[in-house]
Amino acid sequence: MADDGFAHTVNPEAEKGRGEFYGRAASENLTPLWRVLGGLVLDQPKSPCIATQWKWNEIRPYLMEACNIISAAEAERRVLVLENPGMKGESRITRSLFAGMQIILPGEIAPAHRHVASALRFVIEGSNAYTAVSGERTMMAPGDFVITPSWTWHDHGNLSDKPMVWLDGLDMHLVNLMDAGFREAYPDASHPIKRPEGAAEAEFGYNLMPVGYEATSQTTPIFNYPYARTREALDKLARFHAIDACFGYKMKYINPVDGGWAMPTISTWMQLLPKDFKSMPYRSTDSVIFVCVEGNGKTIVGDKTFEWGPHDVWTVPSWQFYEHVASTDAVIFSFSDRVAQEKLDFFREQRGNA
């Protein structure tokens, strides 16, 4: 049949005589489901997302050049979008998520604003720069995972003498799908500081919580997960825990209040792949974005092989098998919309391609 959107049961010969009916129905904004059913209810995921890689040494020069043509204040957020080639012009790295590289120069401030979309920052390069969330600053270092919860005032500043770069990941496409997006600019460049640095960590970062605390958000109250502590946890885990055939040693970031995912719409992980580790093929319904933190290796997705090293980014589309192969000990950060899929009972995975 010419149109693969038809239901499997539609008779091609009988369809030839139905055009007049379809025309009249269209005048009343009616469309026959049987002509589009095959494209709506799929036999298995069919994502427009294409397995793609962004090499750090190739994209970094563009970030530096962007600093010469626009200021952080004029851009509001000086970001180069990591745009999936399967969805050109849509500012998507996967169907549901946004990702981009943000850079701020010494002395710059990315102005304060807030929006419904939740954001993560994964620090790539630089130090002695900060993110301020709801009146509390946190200093950032490479490998840190920093969160901006939904509808919280936030700004960024660079107190160092070198550029600061991080990867932004946002759920804005999920928000916009629901037509639930709002945004508001703060009247000043920075939001007032109301809490001392380290307050959130003191309250929630030591397996303790203030008596009487009542959560008002599904997002973790910790908004910086320092890489030094994450790396230490992976090292200790690898000394005694059985290695996973698909993931090596993989840990998820959690909300200390309830033990769930750190963010309500974006799942985040860090994993350690020992030297010469080759993973079992794996696929899942969440399209995943990976960032190499340390080491070297490759990821095989179908007929593509991505050779990766520190700061490289790559994505694996929904329901495509992939394998990781580590040339050295390697550490990888990753994120996806898995938590949202789990809440909606959508998520599915397969270990091994048998």
pLDDT in tens, 241-256: 999 999 999 999 999 9
Residue 274 one-letter amino acid = P
pLDDT of residue 3 exceeding 80: no
Q: Which helix (H) or strand (E) holds 110?
A: strand 109-115
Give the residue-averaged pLDDT of 310-316.
98
Q: What is the pLDDT of residue 125?
A: 98
Range of weakest confidence among 7-16, 90-99, 166-175, 221-230? 7-16
For strand 249-252 and strand 288-294, is the pairing parallel, antiparallel, or unpaired?
A: unpaired
Q: What is the pLDDT of residue 14?
A: 93
Give the residue-averaged pLDDT of 92-104.
98
pLDDT of residue 340 exceeding 70: yes
Is residue 32 within 8 Å of residue 66, measured between CB atoms? no
Sheet holding 313-316, edge to edge: 52-54, 313-316, 288-294, 330-336, 267-273, 249-252
CA 98 from chain center: how many Å?
7
**Using CB atoms within 10 A of its CB, is residue 37 exposed (0-12), middle (13-18) or buried (19+)?**
middle
pLDDT band at 354 (very low <50, low <70, confident <90, very high): low
Per-position DSSP letters for 52-93, written without gaps between them? EEE-HHHHHHHHHHHHHH--HHHHSS-EEE---GGGTTS--S
- Distance from C-alpha of 267 to C-alpha of 264, rounded to nearest angstrom: 8
What domains sit in the chain, N to C, each tagged with a CATH number? 1-43 (no CATH), 52-351 (2.60.120.10)
Q: What is the pLDDT of residue 5?
A: 84
Arithmetic mean of pLDDT over the chain: 96
pTM: 0.96
Q: What is the dihedral of CA 214, 218, 224, 228, to 10 degrees?
A: 100
Q: What is the pLDDT of residue 344?
A: 97
Give the residue-averaged pLDDT of 319-323.
98
Is residue 34 within 8 Å of residue 7, measured between CB atoms? yes
Question: Mind listing the pLDDT tens digit for each residue in 275-290?
Answer: 999 999 999 999 999 9
* H-only helix segments in the chain: 12-15, 19-26, 37-40, 56-69, 72-75, 172-177, 199-204, 227-240, 338-343
- Distance from C-alpha of 11 to C-alpha of 22, rounded to nearest angstrom: 15
Sheet holding 109-115, edge to edge: 136-140, 129-133, 154-158, 109-115, 183-185
pLDDT of residue 1 exceeding 60: no
- Distance from C-alpha of 316 to C-alpha of 50, rounded to nearest angstrom: 7
Question: Mind listing the pLDDT tens digit for each residue in 134-192?
Answer: 999 999 999 999 999 999 999 999 999 999 999 999 999 999 999 999 999 999 989 99
pLDDT of residue 258 exceeding 70: yes
- Distance from C-alpha of 307 to C-alpha of 299, rounded to nearest angstrom: 7
Is residue 288 within 8 Å of residue 315, measured between CB atoms? yes
**Using CB atoms within 10 A of its CB, is residue 114 exposed (0-12), middle (13-18) or buried (19+)?**
buried
- Distance from C-alpha of 67 to C-alpha of 102, rounded to nearest angstrom: 10
Q: What is the pLDDT of residue 2?
A: 41
Q: What percent of the chain is modeled with pLDDT above 70? A: 99
Closest CA to 171 of 92, 56, 275, 69: 92
Give the residue-averaged pLDDT of 109-118.
96
Question: Mind listing the pLDDT tens digit for each residue in 57-73?
Answer: 999 999 999 999 999 99
Q: What is the pLDDT of residue 353?
A: 79
Contacts of 235 (CB under 8 A, 6+ apart): 272
Is residue 296 within 8 Å of residue 306, measured between CB atoms? no
- The label of the residue with tokens 């391609």 reads 353
